[in-house]
Structure 1
């Protein structure tokens, strides 16, 4: 895609949804962090069903630790990998209390030192909780970036770096939300909805879905 096409791509997505938001429910930076950790290899809908009741009783690191591993596990048992995720939630909560005055760190390197937190999770938290223009590359972003020709790459990190170079600064804050939502609802993996896609003419995908005659 040309630079002009990339700019037009985000202009159109912005026109349709000027203030995109993530689909994970949370009440503060801490619960956002927990929700994103729990969302690995799980759907946002499934995570929200579990965290709704959980966050009503534990919305701070202290309350989560007081709840204890067994009860946390019970709250999130409908989420995949719930055993290891429960351990991570308790462990990261203890570290936040012990080393960060119960506050969620505002830099990627420190966030990545927490149990269960990788680069993608850190980028989501930095973007949503602290308004930093980070790009969190999940399966949707990876697919859309490669399929459209916007920022091809063989790894999530390569795509992230390419997107940071390609996306005009004015779009960076909301870019990963626009791309996630576009990949989730329009540029889907098995059958992209090209006939209703608002940016189809800007996309370099050769095998676009066509409406049946």
Structure 2
């Protein structure tokens, strides 16, 4: 397993239109070949951290480095396109398209193998995504993230709408991307089972982040 440092937060702080810092002077490293869980109470800053890691927002203070280069210098659009893929709680699929068409939006090669990799059959791949179960739709969303062939996958509450059995299957797929494909997988979650499965769990409390053993 290749554990190369790929993302680094250096003295990162973030606040909204108030004096309270939702993230306060965060220093953190993420490596390839590992799955990370980010936990914390609602409103603690988990999704804010995910937005910063994904280049969807900029830190108020500090820097975020991708393989040693500030993502500000890489360019946020280039970073989002080439370095990170997202998996969301509500799937964010285009609902008038089939699974194949959704994955084709990011795939650099045939989309079907990526769908089959996550357990979507060829017949299911040709269906409109609204005719699939929630678990199947999340599999399609993961296939879309995999197909982009980025080294980082960011998942925001990916099992929040799923039953326990399906949730465990989704977690297994994300773990495989980290451990077998040497991706860096970062999951924001309230799920204790995801936190227990992750290689490293962090908790955000009062703007600070701590390692959870």
The structure with higher relative contact order (CA 8 Å, sep 6+) is 2
TM-score by length of 1: 0.28
Larger strand share, 1 or 2: 2
